[in-house]
Chains A and B, each alone.
Chain A
Amino acid sequence: MLVFVLRRLAQAIAVMLAVAFMAFMLFQYVGDPVTHLLGQDATPAQREQLRADLGLDQPFPVQFARFVGNAVQGEFGLSLRQGQKVSTLLLERFPATLELASVAALMALSVGIPMGVYAALKRGTVMSQILMTVSLLGVSLPTFLIGILLILVFAVQLQWLPSFGRGEVISLGPWTTGLATLDGWKHLVLPATTLAVFQLTLIMRLVRAEMLEVLRSDFIRFARARGLPDRLVYFGHALKNTLVPVITITGLQLGSLIAFSIITEQVFQWPGMGLLFIQAVAFADVPVMAAYLCLIALVFVCINLVVDLLYFMVDPRLRADTSSVGKSM
């Protein structure tokens, strides 16, 4: 067990280093923040001076080594754009993104699973056909279009919900939450829905496919043969077995919800990390971009690690495998 965990940890560190390296290499080509830092009247000498002061004239390996050295201590330097600590900026924005992603994930689960079950059980009916068609639309429509359409209908035409921002937030120490106020919830509905649509349809189609698969299996037939009522067969046996892969996928999707909320945050001016990243890109704010990418990589690595460990505990075959490896070592 310990060997397995250590090996996974070593892999995780290697992945993080690789991501940091690629992220940092990319930024060598995204442009020069010095042009934006200094006004139009600055002289070339002043630009050169600033570039030297910021260390941007150093060779790439030196810059990278310094970046990793600081990053390990949780220090990403000062945002070139805002003159604020990058770690502070990310911490300020993290609650907004996490709340948005969690609510979207909950929406996707609570609507997607019942819809998937329905579509599987009532296969061939008109209603389930409609659900399947609509879900195709949900998978294929780009996120920004869904967002703009929602804004147009619910904010501009009906004026039921606000179109941008996070609304009223309450501070609990360093954490700000919009979940404690009605205004915060109102602001959350449209962006969360936008973000949830893709996941929702994904989950629905997944549940349907898995459910159909399970319904064909022998133990369901035996259950039927034993004369168990439909309700118990469907929800007690079939659904339970369907949910295992669904939960795995959902776990992984939570990571991508956080990572890919960029577009939703941009459309709804949601003050989260994605919006911070977009603003940083437009300014070539290298410290913020590098820190953001590393953080997202960390989220994925952690989720994968947890998933792997869960598998390890759930699946006895894996355990047998590693223990034999352990013996041979």
Chain B
Amino acid sequence: MNPSHLVSIILGLALAAGAAQAVTLRVANQGDALSMDPHSLNESLQLTFTGNVYEPLVARDKQLGLAPGLATRWTQPKPNVWRFELRRGVKFHDGTPFTADDVVFSLGRAGPGSDMQGYTNTFKEVRKLDEHTVEIETQAPFPILPDVLTQVYVMSKKWCEDNKAQAPVDRRKGIENAASFKANGTGPFRLKERQPGARTVLVRHGAYWDKIESNVTEVVFTPIGNAATRVAALLSGEVDVIEPVPLQDVERIKASPKLKVMQGPELRTIFLGMDQKRDELLFSNVKGKNPFKDKRVRQAFYQAIDIETIKSRVMRGAALPTGLMVGPGIRGFSPEQNKRLPYDPEAAKKLLAEAGYPGGFEVALNCPNDRYVNDADICQAVAANLARIGVKVGLQTETKVTYFPKILRRDTSFYLLGWTPSTYDSHNALSALMATPTEKGQGQFNLGAYSNPKVDELTLKIQSETDQARRNALIKEAFDLHTADIGHLPLHQQSLAWAMKKSVTLVQLADNFMPYKWVTLDDKAK
């Protein structure tokens, strides 16, 4: 055979092999990760994206359980000390070996000045014992430390120093930071190209320490803010996965032979809160007293809400009605406690009359219109429900940018909020939503100042109780008290809705994370 012929055959084969191997996954999301710096913003989109490039000590598995990450094993030698054995042979994308120094550096970097300091402010000291062992001492016993660490990613100390990115970008001082646009992690994907707001490209990290359960070699991530455009991009085949899908388009996408929709419950619980502190409501026609201080009024509101209709009409089936302030997937959630008071407008009317409001009263309801799935529509439905028992609701919906500062000032009598415990643990919901507000930040999102000293006491105990069974019992007790008080009106967990080509296989996690290492594209099915 002619040698040049042979060369061309080999070249041809090589090209064909190369073509067969290159698998590009194109993902469109409604927003963009604002920075590539994993410690700059505590927000799920940012963390799910950077979580493909960077890794935490403790990871989560496909059921959101704890799994070894950069640490292979962790133990608790003392109640307030955790010891982590680090994985050996791990290299950062630039080839630098991963050691205990990087861990000590990263946990410090995620401290004061970082948006992640909520995760690290219980730390007293982070110590390096040897190259592959690190100890974290906390101020008080902290049983959920491994959970907390799942969102704190590890950066390379040397790289940060070389790039002058020892601390997350400080908007106050007007200093930019290389870590915002560049990245060097240990994760399964490397950052190749970054155009904020337009396009971010990841490529597979060949020297990853674990087997990557995915055939994807390149990920092109595009933010598409407009919902109709996002759906159009999927329908026209320009992207493979979109998230989220607007509820009204779910059926349409399902009808396409090439596409599918994945829906599942989200960890976020949507609920209503009431001002139970002021002696007179800010926005009501009841003068001289606060009707929400009367449990019968709160119960009347609860039983007047027709949650099943909200589920079927407003949420088009994509919601899970709840009787608890935390959803499935949060530690401490118990299905037997998750029962709602029955929907009963007649009973509600009677309760209102007993409380001294036979003709009802007027109250304003504050609601965001661009934060949760169909949030303003939910409030409208609630207003209609309450009208049936004589309560006239003045609905005020507005954008989240003005909504949150307002309700955080407690400038509200009745409000809608959604909450995902950032630690995946009930303690976070108890402490932020149900404990009596204090100067130290406890009860910070308890905007109606619901207060039960027993719940406060239990919340404190839960924080440092290390025995898992006892801890769960305490959580159960606290939830029972809150439910009996009708401290808030839980509504539902909204659903995640992702849509993709049928050729895409992926894992949908209830925390709305999408690790690309679990995404597979089947070329033959295309």
Binding site for B on A (CB under 8 A): 29-45, 47, 50, 53-54, 77-85, 89, 148, 151-152, 155-156, 159, 162-166, 266-269, 271, 275-276, 278-279, 281-284
Assess whether A38 is in contact with B441, with CB atoms less than 8 Å apart.
Answer: no
Tell me, yes or no, whether B402 is within 8 Å of chain A by CB.
Answer: yes
Binds A, one of B40-48, B96-104, B338-346: B40-48
Q: Is B328 engaged at the interface, CB distance under 8 Å to the other chain?
A: no
8 Å CB contact of B176 from A37, A38, A78: A78
B197 in complex: contacting residue of A39, A162, A163, A279, CB < 8 Å: A279
Q: Which of B197, B232, B238 is in CB contact (< 8 Å) with A271?
A: B197
Looking at the assembled complex, report how far the CB atom of B6 sits from the nearest CB atom of chain A, in whole angstroms: 35
Q: A47 CA to B28 CA in the complex, in Å?
A: 32
Contact in complex: A266, B226 (CB < 8 Å): yes
CA distance A30 to B400 in the complex (A): 10
Q: What residues of A have a CB within 8 angstroms of the CB of B41 in the complex?
A: 37, 39
The answer on a CB contact under 8 Å between B223 and A269 is: yes
Once the chains bind, are B444 and A271 in contact (CB under 8 Å)? no
B432 touches A151 (CB 8 A): no
Contact bitstring B229-241, A, C-beta under 8 A = 1, else 0: 1001101111000
| A271 engages B171 (CB within 8 Å) | no
Which of B20-38 touch A at CB < 8 Å?
Answer: 28, 34-35, 37
**For residue B442, which residue of chain A has the nearest CB?**
A43
Interface mask (B409-449 → A, CB under 8 Å = 1, otherwise 0): 00000000001001000001000100000011100110000
Are B176 and A84 touching (Cβ within 8 A)?
A: yes
- Tell me the nearest residue of chain B to A88, going by C-beta: B176
Minimal beta-carbon separation of B97 from chain A (angstroms): 29
For residue B225, which residues in chain A have a CB less than 8 angstroms away from its CB?
A: 266, 269, 275, 278-279
B-side contacts of A283, CB under 8 Å = 401
Cβ of B195: which chain A residues have Cβ within 8 Å of it?
Answer: 271
Contacting pair A155 B232 (CB below 8 A): yes
CB-defined contacts of A33 to chain B, threshold 8 Å: 401
**Contact bitstring B37-64, A, C-beta under 8 A = 1, else 0:** 1001111000000000000000000000
A-B contact pairs, 17 of them (CB 8 A): A36-B404, A39-B42, A40-B445, A41-B42, A41-B118, A41-B119, A45-B439, A78-B174, A82-B34, A83-B180, A85-B176, A165-B222, A267-B228, A269-B223, A271-B197, A276-B197, A279-B225
A45-B441, A155-B232, A165-B199 known; 8 other A-B pairs, CB under 8 Å? A30-B401, A31-B404, A43-B444, A54-B171, A78-B175, A80-B171, A83-B171, A279-B197
Contact partner, B222, options A32, A38, A47, A164, Cβ 8 Å:
A164
Q: Which of B197-245 contact A (CB under 8 A)?
A: 197-199, 222-226, 228-229, 232-233, 235-238
Nearest residue, chain B, Cβ from A270: B198
Question: Which residues of chain A come closer than 8 Å to B116, judged between CB atoms?
Answer: 39
* Cβ contact within 8 Å between A156 and B236: yes
A31 to B368, CA, bound (A): 13
Q: How far is the CA of A151 from the CA of B440 in the complex (A)?
A: 52
- Among A31, A89, A159, A163, contact of B399 (Cβ-Cβ < 8 Å): A31
* A31-B401, A39-B118, A84-B176 known; A162+B238 contact, CB < 8 A: yes
For A37, A77, A155, A269, the residue with the greatest tally of chain B CB atoms inside 10 Å of its CB is: A269
Minimum CB–CB distance for B377 against chain A, Å:
19
Residues of the B chain whose Cβ atoms lie less than 8 Å from the Cβ of A41 = 42, 118-119, 422, 428, 432
- Give per-residue flags for B304-325: 1 if the beta carbon is below 8 A from chain A beta carbons, else 0: 0000000000000000000000
Does B236 contact A32, Cβ atoms closer than 8 Å?
no
- The reply on B496 being an interface residue by CB < 8 A is no
- CB of A164 within 8 A of CB of B422, answer no
In the assembled complex, the CB of A285 is this many whole angstroms from the nearest CB of chain B, namely 10
B34 touches A164 (CB 8 A): no
Closest to A75 in B: B174
Which B residue's beta carbon lies closest to that of A52? B172
B408 & A35 in contact (Cβ 8 Å cutoff): yes
The docked-state distance in angstroms from the alpha carbon of A269 to that of B215 is 28
CB distance from B61 to the nearest CB of A (A): 24
For residue B18, give the distance in angstroms from its CB to the closest CB of chain A: 20
**For B400, what are the chain A residues with a Cβ–Cβ distance below 8 Å?**
282
With an 8 A cutoff between CB atoms, is B352 at the interface?
A: no
Counting CB contacts under 8 A, is B280 at the interface? Answer: no
Q: Assess whether A39 is in contact with B115, with CB atoms less than 8 Å apart.
A: yes
Question: Which one of A31, A42, A151 contacts B405 once the chains associate, using CB atoms below 8 Å?
Answer: A31
Contact A163/B401 with A269-B223, A271-B195 known, Cβ cut-off 8 Å: no
Distance A11 CA – B126 CA, assembled complex (angstroms)? 61
Q: Which residues of A contact B28 (CB under 8 A)?
A: 164
Q: Is the pair B236, A42 in contact by a Cβ cutoff of 8 Å?
A: no
CB of B444 within 8 A of CB of A44, answer: yes
6 shortest interchain CB distances as A-B pairs = A39-B42, A41-B118, A43-B441, A31-B401, A32-B405, A271-B198
Q: Which of B40, B229, B405 contacts A35 (CB 8 A)?
A: B405
Q: Give CA–CA (A50, B233) in the complex, Å.
A: 39
Q: Which residue of A lies closest to B41 (CB)?
A: A39
Contacts of A276 in B (CB 8 A): 197
Taking CB atoms, residues of chain B closer than 8 Å to A163 are: 229, 232-233, 236, 238
**Nearest-Cβ distance from residue B409 to partner chain A, whole angstroms:** 9
The verdict on B477 contacting chain A, using a C-beta distance below 8 Å, is no
Give the residue name and chain of the A residue nearest to B223 (CB). Answer: A269
Using CB atoms, name the residue of chain B closest to A43: B441
- Answer whether residue B329 sits at the interface, using C-beta atoms and an 8 A cutoff: no
The docked-state distance in angstroms from the alpha carbon of A34 to that of B228 is 30
- Please tell me which one of the listed residues A79, A81, A159 contacts residue B237 in the complex, with CB atoms under 8 A apart: A159
Shortest distance between the CB of B496 and any CB in chain A (Å) = 19
Q: How far is the CA of A29 from the CA of B237 in the complex (A)?
A: 42
Which A residues touch B440, using CB under 8 A? 43
| B422 A40 Cβ-Cβ under 8 A | yes
Closest to B181 in A: A84
Cβ-defined contact, A40 with B432, below 8 A:
yes
Residues of B within 8 Å of A36, CB to CB, are: 401, 404
A17 to chain B, nearest CB (A): 23
Tell yes or no: B196 within 8 A of A by CB: yes
Given A31-B401, A40-B432, A284-B401: A54 in contact with B172 (beta carbons within 8 A)? yes
**Is B386 an interface residue, CB under 8 A from the partner?**
no
In the complex, whether B379 has a CB less than 8 A from a CB of chain A is no
Q: Which residues of A have CB within 8 Å of B399?
A: 31, 282
Interface code B323-357, partner A: CB below 8 Å = 1, 0 otherwise? Answer: 00000000000000000000000000000000000
Nearest CB of B to A314, in Å: 42
In the complex, what's the smallest C-beta–C-beta distance from B188 to chain A, in angstroms? 25
Closest residue of B by beta carbon distance from A263:
B226
Question: Does B169 lie at the interface of the complex (its beta carbon under 8 Å from any beta carbon of A)?
Answer: yes
A269-B222 CB under 8 A given contacts A83-B35, A282-B401: yes
Task: Select from chain A the residue with minimum beta-carbon distance to B114.
Answer: A39
| CA distance in complex: A84, B439 (Å) | 33
Our pick among A35, A84, A155, A269 for the contact of B180 (Cβ within 8 Å) is: A84
Smallest CB–CB gap between A54 and chain B, Å?
Answer: 6
**Which of chain A's residues have a CB closer than 8 A to the CB of B177?**
83
Chain B residues contacting A82 (CB-CB under 8 Å) are 34-35, 180, 196-197
Cβ distance B193 to chain A, nearest Cβ, rounded Å: 11
Contacts of A29 in B (CB 8 A): 402
How many angstroms from the CA of A47 to the CA of B181 in the assembled complex?
26
Interface pair A269/B224, CB less than 8 Å apart: yes
Q: With A31-B399, A80-B171, A163-B238 as given contacts, are A269 and B441 in contact (CB-CB < 8 Å)?
A: no
Given contacts A31-B401, A84-B176, A269-B226, contact A152 B196 (CB under 8 A): no
What CA separation (Å) do A80 and B173 show in the bound complex?
A: 11
Residue on A nearest B28 in the bound complex, by CB: A164
